[in-house]
Amino acid sequence: MHELGIAHEVLEAVRKEATRLNGQRPTKVGVRIGELAAVDPEALHFCFDALVQETGLAPLELEIEFCPRRHRCPQCNEVFAVVDYAVACPRCGNPRTEFVSGDELELAYLEVSDYEPLATGR
Amino acid sequence: MNRLPLEGKVLKENDRIALELRERYAAHGVLCLNLVSSPGSGKTSLLERTLEHWPAGERVAVLTGDIQTENDAQRLRRFGFPVKQITTGGTCHLDARMIQRALEDWRLEDLDLLLVENVGNLVCPSSYDLGEAAKVVVLSVTEGEDKPLKYPSMFFKSELMVLNKTDLLPYVPFVVEKAIENAQRVHPQMEVLKVSCLKGDGLPQWMQWLKRRRDTFLTTLPASANRS
C-alpha cells in the first residue's frame, strides 16, 4: 500500500507548481504509470482523492495514463507492446529483444483554469 | 483551460537521495545489494549463512528492514559484523532516506559490501531505489512457481533470483524448472541460484556470485574511485 506515499508525492509536486501559477487554478494532474511500476491505479485514485481534501487543492482530478511494457527488436527495429510476457519480436521472431519502457512512475502534465483564483496559497 | 507539461519522476526526492547514495558507494567501492522477497522466503537466513561463511576481518555490513522488532538484527549481530535494524514503523518498504539516516554513523570507506534486507513484500519495495547496484530476489519452494508472473515488477527489476529452501523439494509440489521459466519470462536475463540455507546446498555458489558481482561492480567505477 505505498500508493498513499505516491499520492502524497504527486500532490506535493502540484502544490509546488501551483505557487508559480499567478492565480491560475490546477484542475487536473496527469501521471504516467507503467505496468511494471508496481502501482495499482485504483488504489492510487483512492489515496489521491482522500489526500487532496487535506491540501486545499480540491477539486483536483487525477488522470492516470497506463503505459504497457514495450520492447525493441535489435534486428529489425520493431517496437512493440509485450502482451502476456511474450518478448519475442512479432515481426521477425527474434527471441532476444530489449526493454524500452513500461516502468514509468512519472508526472505528465498539469491542467489549469484561467478563470478561478487559487483557493489557498498553502 | 491550459495544459502545462510536468517533468520528472513522481518519487524524485527518493531518487535524488538514491543517486547520492549510489555516488557515495561508487566513491568508496562499496557494492550495495538490495534483498527483496515476500515475508518468510529466507532473506534473513540467507544473510545469516552469508555472514557465517564470510571471512573474518573482511568488510561486510547489513542493514535490515522490518515494520517492527529488532529480531533480525539480533539474529545477525552474533557473527561480529556491523548490523543495523531499520524499523519502518508501519511503512511497507525501505526508502532511500531511511538508508541515508542509517548510514550516518557508519564509515563507507571501511566497507566492501553492504547488504540491505528490505521489508518482506514483493510489491512496494520495487518502486523505491535505494541506490543499490542490484536487487536480489529470494523465492522459496514453499511458494508458488507463478510468483514471478504475479509480481512481475520485482522480478523484472532483480538481477538474481535465489531459489531457497531446496531441501524441502521432496515434500512440496514445487517444480523448479517452471519457476525459473516464469522468472525468465518476466526477465529474460535473470540469473538463478538454488540454495538451501538450512542444509548449505548452493551457498558456495552464492558466495562466489557475491565476489564476482563485486568484481564486476568495481570495473564499472571510474579509475579515480577509492577501491581500498
Residue A113 sits at the chain B interface (C-beta within 8 Å): yes
User: DSSP for A2-53?
Assistant: THHHHHHHHHHHHHHHHTTSTT-EEEEEEEEEETTS---HHHHHHHHHHHHT
The pLDDT value recorded for residue A62 is 98
Check CB contact under 8 Å for B9 and A85.
no
Given a cut of 60, is residue A116 above it in pLDDT? no
The pLDDT value recorded for residue B226 is 53
Residue B224 lies in a domain: no
Residue B18 lies in a domain: yes
**Which residue of chain B comes nearest to A108, CA vs CA?**
B6
**Total tally of structural domains belonging to chain B:** 1
Residue B185 with chain A: CB contacts under 8 Å: 85, 87
ipTM of the complex: 0.83
Taking only the tens place, the pLDDT of each residue in B175-212 is 999 999 999 999 999 999 999 999 999 999 999 999 99
Sheet bearing A70-72, strands edge to edge: A79-81, A70-72, A98-101
Residue A30 with chain B: CB contacts under 8 Å: 6
Check CB contact under 8 Å for B6 and A87.
no
Better pLDDT: B56 or B116: B116
Residue B129 lies in a domain: yes
For a pLDDT cut of 90, what percent of chain B falls above it?
A: 93
For a pLDDT cut of 70, what percent of chain B falls above it?
A: 98
Residue A37 sits at the chain B interface (C-beta within 8 Å): yes
The pLDDT value recorded for residue A64 is 97
Cα of first residue to Cα of last residue in chain A, in angstroms, is 27
| Residue B94 lies in domain | 13-216
Residue B227 lies in a domain: no
Residue B91 lies in a domain: yes
Given a cut of 60, is residue B6 above it in pLDDT? yes
**Which residue of chain A comes nearest to B151, CA vs CA?**
A38
Cα(B169)–Cα(B94) distance, integer angstroms: 31
Q: Which of B10, B12, B149 sits opposite A31 (nearest CB)?
A: B10
The pLDDT value recorded for residue B1 is 74
Please report the residues numbered 99 through 138 in chain B whose beta carbons come closer than 8 angstroms to any beta carbon of chain A. 123-124, 126-128
Taking only the tens place, the pLDDT of each residue in A55-107 is 989 999 999 999 999 999 999 999 999 999 999 999 999 999 999 999 999 99
Residue B49 lies in a domain: yes
Q: What's this model's pTM, rounded to 2 decimal places?
A: 0.91
Taking only the tens place, the pLDDT of each residue in A4-44 is 999 999 999 999 999 888 878 999 999 999 999 999 999 99
Q: Under 8 Å CB-to-CB from B208, ≥6 apart: which residues?
A: none
Output the domain CATH number for residue B162.
Answer: 3.40.50.300
φ, ψ for residue B63, nearest 5 deg? -110, 125
Cα of first residue to Cα of last residue in chain B, in angstroms, is 58
The pLDDT value recorded for residue A120 is 56
Domain residue ranges in chain A? 3-68+101-113
Residue B128 with chain A: CB contacts under 8 Å: 2
Average pLDDT value for chain B: 95
- The band of A118, judged by pLDDT with boundaries at 50, 70 and 90, is low
User: DSSP for B103-136?
Assistant: TTTS-GGG-SEEEEE--S-SSGGGG---S-SEEE
Q: A38 to chain B nearest CA, in Å?
A: 6
Q: What is the CATH number of domain A3-68+101-113?
A: 3.30.2320.50
* Half-sphere exposure at residue A72, Cβ-oriented, CA atoms within 13 angstroms: 4
Given a cut of 70, is residue A122 above it in pLDDT? no
How many CB contacts within 8 angstroms connect chain A with chain B? 86
Residue A10 sits at the chain B interface (C-beta within 8 Å): yes
